[in-house]
Amino acid sequence: MNRTSWLSSIPTHWTVRRAAHVIDMDVGGTPSTSRSEYFDGDIPWLTIADMTSESITRCEKYLSRAGVEAGRIPWSRKGDLLYSFKLSIGKIAFTKIDLVTNEAIASIHSSSRIDLRYAYWMLPLAYEAAASRNIYGAPILNQQQLRAARIPMPPLSEQQQIADYLDHETAEIDAFITDQSRFIDLIEERTSVLIETIITGKQPGTTLRKESGSAWVGDIPNHWEMERISWLFSNVGSGTTPASDDVDAFNGTIPWVTSSELRETGVSITKKLVSDEAVRKYSALRVHPAGSLMIAMYGATIGRLGWLEVPATVNQAICVFSDYRKGPSRYPFFALLAARRHLLTLASGGGQPNINQDKIRSLRIPIPPEHEQTDIVRSLDKSLRDATQLVREAKILIDLARERRAALITAAVTGQIDVTARNKPAAEQIEDDIAQGLHREHA
């Protein structure tokens, strides 16, 4: 947001005031953590972790009355507006209960000068404009900046009309976004079920069957076999990360894939490139050929799959399968997609679960004759392309809706639209935009 121009044009009968002149605000606190008697009492104590919705009904942590008094922590009463301005900046919610907060949260109390529902929509924009920025461009806020923020002040009756309008219009847009998100989930679930059904030979028409000996597969067609996945490839292994002081390791031309870069649609571009010298220096840093399959073994991306469109190296979080020997190289990719849920059940470890290489290597997958693998790959490739396109389009619509939502809020709280007019609902307008092909601008 342009910090100097967001209030450059407001209706002539509105005013612009400093927040301190119109807002009754307190900031919470934390009592001495060395005094155990200050904690685990009966007074709800809100932290940013509790701000997961627009309504606060409970807190994970509690203070004693002695802790509240010792910390001189002001109360937030039912109906107050809460805003986080440290660490996770910009969370905003109404409290439905009396509580106290920590020092990262400001409480804005009800007053006769400002409608808190209007403040709910307006203040995040005002505070964003008032924030300074760190070297990475992230916003920084303190109490002085909160109080010095410039805010648009329409008459109280208009504040209430703006709040009513935005409550309704954003609810329409949010419902549209929810529908698109559910559609994405449905497409992904149906695609997953289709892949598992075909890879395990459960499609209609196959009558003669036998036990596979693998619980995740069940029975398979009589003429199929079960093979351990490590026996089907010439090479199975993982990669590594060059030493942090090896300044020349990432000064090269060979792609180096991290688990966050894995894509089912294929990986051809990476953030980092390693040098030929690094490949010679680090034995685990081998170059895998195009068509190799990859699976993340641990971390936030555990179980994520991908395949290489170009020769590349990988880091230590990725298990790579190269040179499939039983048919088209895309077949085991779909087999791993089908087995992913089973593999995730084998993950072990506490804070960072992992699927170790031994468990992945010992996975057994169904192997049809080569001509059937070719037919399966052709069919599933088409299904995956179709599903990917549908998901991509739905995500474009979600992005468009979010942009429209943000623009609508800014326009309403700066008086750029007449909230009393009988305009077409925002969600319907988004659908009109889509019909006119405006979403192509975001493709």
DSSP state of 354: B
Same domain, 149 and 255: no
Same domain, 333 and 210: yes
Domain boundary among 339, 367, 395: 367
User: 2: which 2 tokens?
Assistant: 């342009």
Same domain, 350 and 237: yes
Same domain, 146 and 207: no
For residue 2, the model assigns a pLDDT of: 46
Domain boundary among 342, 367, 392: 367
Is 408 a domain residue?
no
Number of domains in the chain: 2
Within 13 A of 7's CA, how many CA atoms are on the CB side? 23
The per-residue pLDDT for range 386-437, each reduced to its tens digit, is 999 999 999 999 999 999 999 999 999 999 988 877 655 665 666 666 556 5
Q: How far apart are the first and last CA of the chain?
A: 23
Same domain, 147 and 234: no
Is 4 a domain residue?
no
Is 86 a domain residue?
yes
Same domain, 218 and 351: yes
Same domain, 58 and 206: no
Is 225 a domain residue?
yes
H or E stretch at 178: helix 156-199
Q: How far apart (Å, rounded) are the C-alpha atoms in residues 366 and 222? A: 11
Domain that holds residue 324: 202-367
Is 21 a domain residue?
yes
3-state secondary structure at position 234: strand
The per-residue pLDDT for range 319-342, each reduced to its tens digit, is 999 999 999 989 999 999 999 999
Is 187 a domain residue?
no
Same domain, 209 and 356: yes
Is 41 a domain residue?
yes
Domain boundary among 320, 344, 367: 367
> Which residues in the chain come in under a pLDDT of 50?
1-2, 438-443
User: 384: which 2 tokens?
Assistant: 């995956």
Same domain, 128 and 221: no
Is 438 a domain residue?
no
Closest CA to 142 of 106, 93, 99: 106
The answer to whether 427 touches 173, Cβ cutoff 8 Å, is yes
Closest CA to 345 of 363, 333, 332: 363
For residue 442, the model assigns a pLDDT of: 47
Same domain, 206 and 124: no
The answer to whether 45 touches 64, Cβ cutoff 8 Å, is no
Instruction: Report the CATH number at residue 286.
Output: 3.90.220.20
Same domain, 149 and 206: no
Same domain, 140 and 245: no
